[in-house]
Chain A
Amino acid sequence: MATRSQTAAVLLAGALALAACGSGGTPQAPAASGSKTLVIDTSFDLKTADPGRTYEPTGLIVGKAVYETLLTFDGADVTKPVPALAESYELSEDGKTLTLKLKQGATFADGAPVTADDVVFSLTRVRDMKGTPSFLLDGVEVAKTDDSTITLTSQAPNPALPFILPNPALGIINSKLAQQHGATTDAQDKAEQYLNSSSAGSGPYQIESFNVSSQVTLKANPKYYGPKPAYERVVIRNVEAATQKLNVSRGDSQIALNLSGDQVTGMPATLQVKKTASANVIFLLANQDSAISGTTPNAKFVEAVRKGVDYAGLLELAGEGSTLAPGVIPSQILGALPADQAPARDLEGAKAALAESGLSNPTVKLEYPSELTVNGLSFQPLAERIQANLKEVGITVDLQPAPVTTALDNYRNGKEEMGLWYWGPDYPDPSDYLVFLPGKTVGLRAGWKEGSNKELEEAGEKAAAAIGDEAREAAYADVQNKLNAEGPFIPLLQPSQNIVTAASVTGLEYHPVWTVDIADLGVK
């Protein structure tokens, strides 16, 4: 029979095909380190490279590298704004006028000088384009006094403004260049497409290629007037957390930004692991609207939950580097409550409070975004742990996970009986946390209407108008203590931001606003 030779022929063909595929698999030499390319792996949250529309973590990394702002922060210290494009700033005594002196000699990537007109155009554009970051400059008038002086005027005292200006969304763009490509200072603006492919900034890097779902490539700006960055090219890739870990371990990338506490344990000793408490505060909310729930508006019920949560257990779950949140303001920011005020479990107290509430064996629904992770920490195990904690108190928690887009709907419409969410700072200033008060954005989400707590609302107004670091610290501590005593929010913890870098990368600091300042990185 001929079958034997047929078989041999077919087998050979198959083997050849396999071999052909296999030969492509010869290992590549690792990326040549002489070319100074830095590869950063991160799970993309990116929509645009137009600073005036940027609001997502990955976008802020890019914005920080490509554009410069009037003020910035030194390293990871967000309690003190320092000069950037402005060489000095002064806030008037009433806190309504901020005067900035521009630095001389700053130039855009095309060589044109950065002028006061560019500043006025850029900031007005962000405010009036009505994009996501517009609220940063709500009610702020921008004017040029002379060629090197800018004044920002607000109707109400605005001591937060120096802390807002470092946000990469307020990066200064080359107004002439941008206007040639459709930039305007209203909703008709058409410059986004242009700004997604080229950079009109004065930062140390320029955009080489930009793709919102796969990769962003930056190259050093040859005309940068400041110190040259250490890396010529920077590739930011969209990579799943599990793959990030393998890539950075094998030297395929130098930085992995999104690893969870579990994933960074047992990393090879050749890598540097940086664990820093992030500025994201995870909290529970108990709806105060009696139309939503007959249980959660009961103050004693909230007290029972507050005392019944096993904070130490949650902290352990969140992993090393995480920290408990004594108040809604995270530890990095001016006005944060001291760490020794961190909450602790009081099971007996919780049971007593529940008994006083008059509710017997209450059942509540806890809604949360099931697939959301904050700094690698998933909400699902947190919710399950809270459910178990409260069971011991005598409260039955009915878990209601939903995809984040669906869960957000109920949350922002104030429809959740109980919710598990987080708040990240829009800018590192305590005034950003006044949203938790009655009648404000997050307060309303907990069904907490304006006028529900007059004393607290007055404390909030006082804090908003306080000038000077000491006065502000005291005022915000007061707001948070009152919020903890009477409010519907139970701050839990700040999860750790774990960043893994190759041994060759130096100078990395986790920043609560822009995660990483690429230009600060060095090479060993």
Chain B
Amino acid sequence: MSDTPGPPPSGGAGPSSTRKEPPSGSAGPLTTRTSPRRGAHPLARFLVRRVLLAVLMAWGITLVTFVLTNLVPGDPVAANLGQRALGDPAIVAQWRAEHGLDQPLWRQYLLHLQGLLQGDLGTSQQSHRPVSQDLAEFVPATLELAGAAILVSLVLGVAFGVVAALRRDRLSDHALRVLSLIGISVPTFWLALVAFYVFFYRLQLTPGSGRVDAALGLAPAVTGMQTVDALLAGRWDIFSSAVAHLVTPALVLALYTIGLLTRFTRSAVLEVLGQDYVRAARAKGLPGRVVLFRYVLRSALVPIITVAGLAFGSLLSGTVLVEAIFAWPGIGQYAYKSATTLDLPAVMGVGLVVGVVYLVINLVVDVLYGVIDPRVRLQ
């Protein structure tokens, strides 16, 4: 199983045998070949269908998050009021009314939906602020971290996978396969603790907790991403501090996806390398670089993109632990705190954001399929 990914890369016995050439670099021939049958542009039709489906899924997410959060045992009142205040029924009743918990469940859901349509995610019980405002503050920090991690994993994972495939069964291949095995099997929270201990405490190569040095303070918020905001403000000291703080958590977070991508890329590239058109291209005397990037990688990309999309999801769940250990103020920490204090609106808000991110990623992956592999649109 481990060496053959789910979706078969192009070039199996199927449709591609009817093609003489692999998909070429330009988009031109693709669109002509998949010329519309019913007037509308096929890509547009494809997009509309996917977006509609995504909206339906988003509604499903609201229902699931609402039901799940309300199934949690324990009374939010107990988690949010002090022990003495709990003894006063007037305070308890007022608190429940303030947070709409005195309404029947179905009504709470309808009110929740109505709020969502107006862009209102409710008010957090812990911060006493609109959840949307909280999320606007925490999501950029996580995006910065997860974005850096996915970038690193795409670059390294694909590069490692290609190297391993090209040098199959040699020492570098074995070394990379061991590395990817470690990446996949080591638990993230453990790795985070060890990395923090080794690089910060022992070797003093990286800085401590947080996003920038406490003495510097944060750059004025524009995007909420420290690296970008520091550049916008022209503060090189904050920028370098922010980058230095980003390195270890991003690499820790990326290690799993690097391992995953290395394995999938390796097997996808190996499969394509054996194809006739690759051999033919080489026989024609095309330079190795052209063969690799235009012929091999392009065909191998479909399974890689599938895995990358899935990997982004696991990255988001990994942030909860990594953020806790590196004191990174993102949605992971927010979600953890909300869950432990039964802050239901905040929990639902985080659930919704993560769900929507998944939907968007899946949508992007689907669209990319269409761009890379015309057969997807033909169906």
Is A130 on the interface with B (CB-CB < 8 A)? yes
Q: Which of B78-111 contact A (CB under 8 A)?
A: 78-88, 90-91, 94
Q: Contacts of A31 on B, CB cut-off 8 Å? A: 213-215
Q: Which residues of B181-200 have CB atoms within 8 Å of chain A's CB atoms?
A: 193, 196-197, 199-200
Instruction: Determine whether A249 belongs to the interface, using a CB cutoff of 8 Å to chain B.
Output: yes
Q: Is A133 in contact with B82, judged by CB distance below 8 angstroms? A: yes
- Bound Cα distance from A90 to B287, whole angstroms: 95
Residue A482 at the chain B interface, CB threshold 8 Å: no
In the complex, A250 Cα to B206 Cα: how many Å?
11
Asked if B155 lies at the interface with its beta carbon under 8 angstroms from chain A, I say yes
Q: Is B207 a contact partner of A28 (Cβ separation < 8 A)?
A: yes
Q: B118-143, CB under 8 A of A: which get 1 and which 0? A: 00000000111100000001100000
A89 to B251 CA separation, bound complex (whole angstroms): 60
Please, which residues of chain A bring their CB within 8 A of the CB of B180? Answer: none
Given contacts A7-B167, A10-B163, whether A247 and B209 have CB atoms under 8 Å apart is: yes
A505 within 8 A of B: no
Q: A2-B291, A39-B214 are in contact. Are A250 and B204 (CB under 8 A)?
A: yes
Q: What does the 1/0 interface line of B198-212 toward A look like (CB < 8 Å)?
A: 011100111111100
Instruction: Say yes or no: is B45 at the interface (Cβ < 8 Å to chain A).
Output: no
Whether A242 and B193, one on each chain, are in contact in the complex, defined by CB atoms closer than 8 angstroms, is yes
B235 interface residue, CB < 8 Å from A? no
Query: Is A9 at the interface (CB under 8 A from chain B)?
Result: yes
Contact A441 B84 (CB under 8 A): yes
Q: Is the CB of B196 within 8 A of A243?
A: yes
A441-B87 in contact given A3-B288, A9-B289, A213-B127 (Cβ < 8 Å): yes
Residue in chain A with minimal CB distance to B163: A10
**B241 in complex: contacting residue of A28, A41, A235, A405, CB < 8 Å:** A28
Knowing A2-B287, A48-B128, A240-B325, say if A408 contacts B201 (CB, 8 Å).
Answer: no
Chain B 242-259 interface 0/1 with A at a Cβ cutoff of 8 Å (1 = within): 011011101100000000
Cβ distance B319 to chain A, nearest Cβ, rounded Å? 14
Cα distance, A246 to B208, chains bound together (Å): 8
Q: Is B275 an interface residue (CB 8 A)?
A: no
Which among B53-61, B334-342, B351-359 touches the partner chain?
B334-342
Query: How many angstroms between the C-alpha atoms of A413 and B27 in the bound complex?
Result: 68
Question: B94 and A412: CB pair below 8 A?
Answer: no
Contact (Cβ within 8 A) A406 B208: no
B173-185 contact mask (Cβ, 8 Å, vs A): 1 or 0: 0000000000000
- CB of B327 within 8 A of CB of A240, answer yes
In the bound complex, CA of A18 to CA of B255 (Å): 13
Instruction: Tell whether B363 is near chain A: CB-to-CB under 8 Å.
Output: no
Tell me the nearest residue of chain B to A248, going by C-beta: B208
Chain A count of residues within 8 A CB distance of the other chain? 73
Q: Does B264 contact A (CB under 8 A)?
A: no
B197–A14 CB distance below 8 A: no
Is B30 an interface residue when CB atoms closer than 8 A count as contact?
no
CB of A269 closer than 8 Å to a CB of B: no
In the complex, chain B residues whose CB is within 8 Å of the CB of A403: 74, 340
Contacts of B250 in A (CB 8 A): 21
A238 touching B215 in the complex, CB below 8 Å, given contacts A192-B128, A211-B137? no
Which one of A1, A10, A130, A133 contacts B159 once the chains associate, using CB atoms below 8 Å? A10
Find out whether the CB atom of B214 lies under 8 angstroms from the CB atom of A237: yes
> B215 contacts A35, CB within 8 Å?
yes
Q: B152 contacts the other chain (Cβ, under 8 Å)?
A: yes
A250: B residues at CB distance < 8 A: 200-201, 204, 208
Q: Are B196 and A6 in contact (CB under 8 A)?
A: no
Report Cα–Cα, A423/B83, bound state, in Å.
Answer: 9
Chain A residues, Cβ within 8 Å of B244: 24-28
Any A CB within 8 A of the CB of B375? no
Q: Is the CB of A47 within 8 A of B214?
A: no
Q: Are B215 and A37 in contact (CB under 8 A)?
A: yes
User: Does chain B have a CB within 8 A of A55?
Assistant: yes
B41 interface residue (CB < 8 Å to A): no
Complex: A41 Cα to B207 Cα, angstroms: 15
A47-B127, A240-B327, A243-B209 given; A11·B163 CB < 8 A: yes
In the complex, whether B160 has a CB less than 8 A from a CB of chain A is: yes
Q: Check A134–B288 contact: CB distance below 8 A.
A: no
Residues of chain B within 8 A (CB-CB) of A209 are: 218
Tell me, in angstroms, the Cα distance from A212 to B196 when the chains sit together. Answer: 24
Q: Is B39 an interface residue (CB 8 A)?
A: no
Q: Does B114 contact A (CB under 8 A)?
A: no
A47 with B128: CB separation less than 8 A:
yes
Measured between alpha carbons, how far is A250 from B213 in the docked complex, in Å? 13
Residues of chain A within 8 A (CB-CB) of B292 are 6, 10
- For residue B214, which residues in chain A have a CB less than 8 angstroms away from its CB? 31, 37, 39, 235, 237, 252-253
A291 at the interface (CB under 8 A from B): no
Cβ contact within 8 Å between B87 and A17? no
For chain B, residues 224 to 249, give those with C-beta under 8 angstroms from any C-beta of chain A.
240-241, 243-244, 246-248
From A25, A39, A211, A409, residue with most partner B Cβ within 10 Å = A25
In angstroms, how far is the closest chain B Cβ from the Cβ of A368?
A: 15
Q: Does A187 contact B (CB under 8 A)?
A: yes
CA distance in complex: A28, B243 (Å): 11
The answer to whether A25 and B206 touch across the interface, beta carbons within 8 angstroms, is yes
Q: How long is the Cα–Cα vector from A264 to B117 in the complex, in angstroms?
A: 51
**Does B248 lie within 8 Å of A25, measured CB to CB?**
yes
Q: Which residues of B contact A240 (CB under 8 A)?
A: 324-325, 327
Q: Which residue of B lies closest to A169 (CB)?
A: B82
Complex partner residue of A132 from B81, B129, B209, B248, CB under 8 angstroms: B81
Q: Are B91 and A134 touching (Cβ within 8 A)?
A: yes
Is B166 in contact with chain A by the CB < 8 A criterion?
yes
Contact partner of A408 among B78, B204, B334, CB < 8 A?
B78
Distance in angstroms from A400 CB to nearest chain B CB is 13
- Is A396 in the interface zone, CB < 8 Å from B? no
Inside 8 A of B156's CB, which chain A residues have their CB? 14, 17-18
Is the Cβ of B207 less than 8 Å from the Cβ of A27? Answer: yes
CA–CA, A18 and B218, complex, Å: 27
Is B7 at the interface (CB under 8 A from chain A)? no
Complex Cα gap A94–B54 (Å): 71
Most chain B C-beta atoms within 10 Å of own C-beta, residue among A24, A31, A37, A441: A24
Cβ of B90 and Cβ of A13 under 8 Å apart? no
* Docked pose: A65 CA to B213 CA in angstroms: 22
Cβ contacts under 8 Å, B166 to chain A: 3, 6-7, 10
Q: Which residues of A contact B76 (CB under 8 A)?
A: 405
Asked if B147 lies at the interface with its beta carbon under 8 angstroms from chain A, I say no
Whole-angstrom CA separation of A18 from B258 in the bound complex: 12
User: Is the C-beta of A426 less than 8 angstroms from some C-beta in chain B?
Assistant: yes
A304 to chain B, nearest CB (A): 28
The reply to whether B200 and A217 contact each other, CB–CB distance below 8 Å, is no
Residues of B within 8 A of A192 (CB): 128
Could you say which residues of chain B place their CB within 8 Å of the CB of A270? none
Please give the residue numbers on chain B whose beta carbons come within 8 Å of chain A beta carbons, in ascending order. 73-76, 78-88, 90-91, 94, 126-129, 137-138, 152, 155-156, 159-160, 162-163, 166-167, 172, 193, 196-197, 199-201, 204-210, 213-215, 217-218, 240-241, 243-244, 246-248, 250-251, 282, 287-289, 291-292, 324-327, 329, 333-334, 337, 340-342
A-B residue pairs, 10 tightest by C-beta: A2-B288, A252-B208, A214-B329, A31-B215, A405-B74, A24-B243, A14-B159, A235-B214, A408-B78, A406-B74
Q: List 28 A-B contacts (CB under 8 A).
A: A2-B288, A7-B166, A10-B162, A11-B163, A14-B155, A17-B155, A17-B159, A24-B240, A25-B199, A25-B205, A26-B205, A26-B244, A27-B204, A28-B207, A28-B240, A28-B241, A39-B214, A47-B80, A132-B84, A133-B82, A192-B128, A212-B126, A213-B138, A214-B327, A242-B325, A252-B209, A406-B74, A408-B74
